[in-house]
Structures are given as C-alpha cells and as structure tokens.
Amino acid sequence: MMDTGIDAPMVENIIMVRPTRSPILYQQMRGRGSRLDSRINKKSFRIYDFAGVTKYFNDESYNPYSEIAKAKAGIPWGTEAKDFVEEDIEVPAGFIQVAETAQENIDVVIKRAYVEIGAEGEKIDSDDYQTAWERQVQELAQAEPLVKKVKDGQELSNDESQILADRLNSPKFYFNEVNLREAYRYPIGTLNDFIKTALGIQNLPTEEQLYEDRIGELFEAWMIDKQFKPEQAKILRLVKNQYIARRSPIEVSIFNEPIFQQQGGLNQILRIFGEDALQSTLKELNQTVFIRR
C-alpha cells in the first residue's frame, strides 16, 4: 500500500496488509482512497483490512457489514455475509518476514513492539518511534545548540539535559527517556546516550550484551557473598562463561568438557569442592544467578 504521495483519485478499493501503529502512516494510507473523482462519479471507497489497523484506530467510517462485524470483530471488511459462520473466531494478525538468506525461504515470525505516548496512551511502533527520533535529532543538530554540543563530543550538564528534555517532550513528539528506553529496549539509557545514537556517534549495547552484563553482575555479587577459595572461584568463573555460551542449566557433566580437563577434570574439581558442595553450588547458580530472560 502506498503511504506517500500518489495522484490517483480514482482509487475505490484499498487493501490494508501493512501492520502499523503510526497514526500518520494510517491516515496517509487511508487517504489514498478518500479523494473524490467526478470522472467516475466516485463518492465513496472501500477498505479491505487484513492487518487490523482500522480496528486499532477505531475508524468509525461506514462499514457495509457492521451488524455482522459487531458479532464477529476482527474479520476483514469485504468478506461476504455468507462467509460468516458460527465457527469463525478472531485470529490475531501475525507479522511474517521472509528472510532472504533463509534456507528454502523459511518464514521468520517478527514480534512487534510498541511505545505508548501522550496522555491518551497512543501506541506507536517502536521502529517508527526510533526512526522519528533519529530524524528529529539529526535535524536539530543543524540549529539546536545543545544537540550540536553533544555532536561535538561534549557532555551536557544536568541543567542543560533538563532544558533539552523539556523541548523534546512536547505533544508533537513525546520524546523522553522513558519512551526512548522502551523503544530501544535499553532500560538504563540516558537522553545523552540516545542523542549520540541518533547522531551515529555511539552504538547502544544489544539485548544479548545487556543480558550477559546482567548475568555478570549477578555472578559477581553472588561470589562476594559466598567468599569462595581462589581455586574454587577460578572454576566457577569458567562455569559462568560456559553458561553464557550455552544458555542452558549447568550440570556436573560439564566438567568432562576439554576446558575443565585442563583444570584436572571432574575428579580434581570434586576434590576442590566436595561432591555435595559442588551439587548444591551448581543448583544455587542455576536458580539464582543464571536466570532466564
């Protein structure tokens, strides 16, 4: 579906197959059919919605199947009345992306995330929000002194950060740390971090890196609390590294792996810890440190 300028007033039917939570994009797509055309005596147009966007934006335009649709919410417009049967149920729209490099074009399901903005809690696709943010920051970098200061490698003071935050967190944009942390899935990010990212002078850590950092923090706190002997601590740090690489609970059998054979193998590790202590240590690690995301 075209969502940018196109001069085609004769369009009478629009098929919505693109999922979007951007009100701007929705109005652009819908607007492709809203123009009158006297040449064909066009006075209305029809939307066939297969992505649930009209329902999401509560579009109250005339629906020729409104009475049936009330009972069968979520079924696309354009479906004939005879096609509605008792067994029909609403199936949430799934978003499928075919990976170009996937073997035999295996479909990959893409999970969409949204950011709620404004007093009404309007939802915007996280990717759309990121794109709008980066475009806005790049534009501001030409004229806004505080953004230019960040671009030049200088840190903003607390007062300057607050001034800039107030300017950005307007009803037009609602750009703020809370929304940006949600959009970028970076819960500890600051406004400076997100400005640098938008300007291309800093990369935010990936979710994988954040998860590894979290496991590392939990592990170090746990180690301090337990006060293991140096030879025990050395083994346990190897165990932590193996968990990060494997992402599965650690069992005693792991000590037969080559990396632990270099430390004397299972028998040596049993002598260092004791059998019961080793079992209980691994159990505690799996339950309190090696948490699932």
Of 52-56, 84-88, 154-158, the poorest mean pLDDT is in: 84-88
Ranked by mean pLDDT, which of 28-42, 47-61, 200-214, 271-285 comes out on top?
271-285
Could you list the residue range(s) of the whole structural domain that residue 257 is in? 207-289
252-264 pLDDT per residue, tens: 999 999 999 998 9
- The Cα–Cα gap between 250 and 213 comes to 19
Instruction: Give me the pLDDT at residue 241, please.
Output: 94
- 192 plus 238 within the same structural domain: no
**Do 182 and 104 lie in a common domain?**
no
Q: What is the mean pLDDT of residues 245-253?
A: 91
> Does residue 6 share a domain with residue 108?
yes
Q: pLDDT per residue over 273-290, tens digit each? A: 999 999 999 999 999 999
* Residue in the block written with tokens 């083994």: 235
- Count of domains observed in the chain: 3
Q: Is residue 255 part of a domain?
A: yes
Q: What is the pLDDT of residue 188?
A: 85
Residue with tokens 């509605």: 84
**Judgement on whether residues 129 and 176 belong to the same structural domain of the protein:** yes
Instruction: Give the pLDDT mean for 169-191.
Output: 84
Average pLDDT of the chain is 78
pLDDT (0 to 100) of residue 273: 94
Q: DSSP secondary structure string, 204-249?
A: PPPHHHHHHHHHHHHHHHHHHHHT--HHHHHHHHHHHHHHHHH-S-
Q: Residue 89: what pLDDT?
A: 38
**Domain ends where: 86, 112, 138?**
112
Q: Is residue 118 part of a domain?
A: no
Residue 96, domain member (yes or no): yes
Q: Are residues 166 and 90 in the same domain?
A: no
State whether 181 and 266 are in the same domain.
no
Same domain, 138 and 168: yes
Residue 77, pLDDT > 60, answer no
- Chain segment 152-170, per-residue pLDDT in tens: 888 888 898 889 888 888 7
Comparison of pLDDT for 117 and 102, the residue scoring more: 117
Give me the pLDDT at residue 293, please. 65
Q: Which of 66, 82, 112 is the last residue of a domain?
A: 112
pLDDT-based confidence at residue 98 (cuts at 50, 70, 90): very low
Measure the CA–CA gap between 101 and 104, rounded to whole angstroms: 9
Same domain membership, residue 177 and residue 82: no
**Same domain membership, residue 13 and residue 107:** yes
